[in-house]
Every structure is written in structure tokens, then in C-alpha cells.
Amino acid sequence: MVVQTQQISNNRYETQTQAIARQLLSATRENRSFLSQMRDQMRWDDKLLGWTMSNPGLRVQMFRFIDCLPALQSKPEIARHMQEYLGDQSVELPSALKGMLNFANPDSMPGQIAATTVSGAVETLAHKYIAGENIQQVIKTVEQLRKQKMAFTVDLLGEAVVTEAEAQLYFNRYIELMQQLTEAAQRWSTVDLIDQADGETLPKVQVSVKLTAFYSQFDPLDEKGSEERVSERIRVLLRRAKELGAAVHFDMEQYSYKALTLAILKRLLLEEEFRHRTDIGVTLQAYLRDSYTDLKDLIEWQNSAALLSPSG
């Protein structure tokens, strides 16, 4: 009788244990299936890059989010900041990303899944395209590139500025970046393939900047004011770059800024102290249909500048 009772009791516990195990296993499989489907279907790092580069509003907010990500200590913190930065009404989100942000509480399972997925994709993206979180990491990455006989140009993330204090801080960071890179470059041996061109020695340090990073109110509707405010910082930057032996490249940005950016550079680079410099570049976006026209226009502008030069 006792044995029979024990068997009945064991059978009941065994049945309940198996039922719980099946539930846990099913939940685990569902979660794994959900995550794997999301990652496999979306390839988040590649998708994130594509979305960010094609959407100016998302690009600004995404880089702001990336900038603060290393300081976030938990998944709920990451989830909350994702909603704050990427859930802004001014940001047009792809449906898949919008769906990921549609959680009620950062502490919830959907919030933590979103934080894990997006932060993982950002880290993967960073390893592919971002040289480092600080200047020491950047120098290490650059030195590895040079060992592979690859040239580089470095820019700083988070170039979207909304106040003059941010613009000044960004300017100061560029001065510091050039200073530390050129100090490190003194230890680099010359690699003819990347340090020589047409019989001339090229600067080993190359940085890229955007005009909008140096004036918080940069606006095509205020061409004169934008030019006056941004040009003085650019002059100081170029003078310091010459002293340090660094080259500066001016990047294009969203299409609405392109015409004003080119107009400002054409006028500024004709000034006597800059017109003979060979360590200044202008970068065009090859995927734009009118970049070929812009390139021909720049070549004609350069040729005209040479003809106007007293030594030309």
C-alpha cells in the first residue's frame, strides 16, 4: 500500500515536471526562434548601416545613440535611450525598427530583446567601420591599416551640433585629434605606396570634417551668416593642420547642404593663404547623379584659380 502510494505520488510529480520542462523548452525555442529569425532576416548590422546612411534624421539620432552607448550599464538603460533617441517624431523609421521600439516598458522582455539586438548590431557595425572609442584605439587601428599598406582618413562621430558650445567642443576635439595623430605619425616608417604620389610626399595623417559641425545654425536659407560663422573656424583648423603636417578633407553631407558647402569652400580656398595648399581635399558622393557635374565644375574652378594666381 505504501509502495503504491509512492508510485502514484512519483507519477504525479513526474507528469508535472515534464509538463513544466516542456513549457520551458517551448518558451526557449520560441525566444531563440524569434531572435534568430530577426537577426537572420534583417542582418541587423548591415540593415542598420543602410537605414542610417539613407535617412538624415535617423543618421543624426543614431550617431547620438552610438555616442552614449558605452556609458549605458544595463539593457533597460539601452532600451530607454533607444526609445528617446530613435523614437523622436522627426525620425522616419523603417517598419522593422519601429516595431522593435514598440515596447511599453524598458524593463520588459521585448525591451531587453530590442536592446540586445540593436546594441549587438551597433557593436558589430562599430568594429567594421569605426576605428575606436578613443584616440589610443584609433592610433592602433590606423597603424594596423598602414601595415597592410592602406591609407586612411579619420573623422569624429556625433558631428550633428545643436548649440555653439557643442560646435566649439567638436572643433577642439578635431584639433586634439590632429595633434595626437601627428605625434604618433612621427614613429611611422614611410610606405611609398600610400605616402608618395607623383614624386611628392603626402601627409601621413588625413582627417575629414563637415562644415555643419562647426556652426550649430548652418542653414542654406542663411548663406551669408552660415559662411561668416563657419569660415573662421575652418581657417583656424587649416592653419593648425599645416603647422602639424596633417591633411584635411571636406565631406559632403545631406543633399540640401551640398550647394552651400561647395560655394563656401570655393570662396574660402581662394584666399591667399590656402590657394596653393596641396593638403586640402573636397570629397564628393559618387552615388549622386550630379556628382560628375560637380567634379567637372571643381576642376574648372581649380584651373581658373591657378590662372588667377600670381605664380600660376
pLDDT at 308: 53
- How do residues 60-100 score in pLDDT, each as one tens digit? 777 778 777 877 878 888 888 888 887 777 677 777 777 77
CATH 3.20.20.220 segments of the chain: 135-308
d(Cα 187, Cα 204) in Å, to the nearest integer? 11
Residues 6 or more apart from 62 whose CB is under 8 A from it?
48, 52, 85, 86
* pLDDT tens digits along 292-311: 999 999 999 988 876 554 44
280-282 vs 246-250, strand pairing mode: parallel
The domain defined by 135-308 folds into: TIM Barrel (3.20.20)
Q: How far apart are CA 237 and CA 231, in angstroms?
A: 10
Give all strands (DSSP E) within 13-129, no chain letters. Answer: none
Stretch among 15-19, 24-28, 286-290 having the lowest mean pLDDT:
24-28
230-280 pLDDT tens trace: 999 999 999 999 999 999 999 988 888 999 999 999 999 999 999 989 999
| Stated pTM of the model | 0.65
Q: What does the pLDDT read at residue 151?
A: 92
Specify the 3-state DSSP secondary structure of 280.
strand
Confidence of residue 6 (pLDDT cuts 50, 70, 90): very low
Contact present, 76 and 106 (Cβ < 8 Å): yes
Distance of CA 90 to the CA centre of its chain: 19
| Share of residues in the chain with pLDDT > 90 (%) | 43
175-214 b/e (C-beta count within 10 Å ≥ 16 → b): eebbbbbbebbeeeeeeeebbeeeeeebbbbbbbbbbbbb
- Check residue 157 and report its DSSP letter: S
Is the Cβ–Cβ distance between 153 and 73 less than 8 Å? no
Widest CA span of the chain, in angstroms? Answer: 116
Chain center to CA of 217: 21
Q: Residue 262 has what pLDDT? A: 96
Nearest to 177 by CA among 201, 213, 144: 213
Residues 6+ apart with CB under 8 A from 175: 237, 240
Band (pLDDT 50/70/90 cuts) for residue 226 is very high
pLDDT confidence bin for 153, thresholds 50/70/90: very high
Could you identify the residue written with the cell 556625433? Answer: 158
At 107 the pLDDT is 86
| Residue 282, beta-bridge partner list | 250
CA dihedral 129, 133, 135, 136 (to 10 degrees): -100
**Per DSSP, what are the bridge partners of residue 197?**
200
Please give the pLDDT value at position 5. Answer: 38
Q: What is the pLDDT of residue 3?
A: 38
Residue 22: which pLDDT band, with cuts at 50, 70 and 90? low
Measured distance CA(174)–CA(121) in Å, rounded: 27
Interatomic CA distance for residues 35 and 113, integer angstroms: 8
Contact predicate 250/291, CB 8 Å:
no
Mean residue pLDDT of the chain comes to: 81
When pLDDT is averaged across residues 196-216 and rounded to a whole number, the result is 93
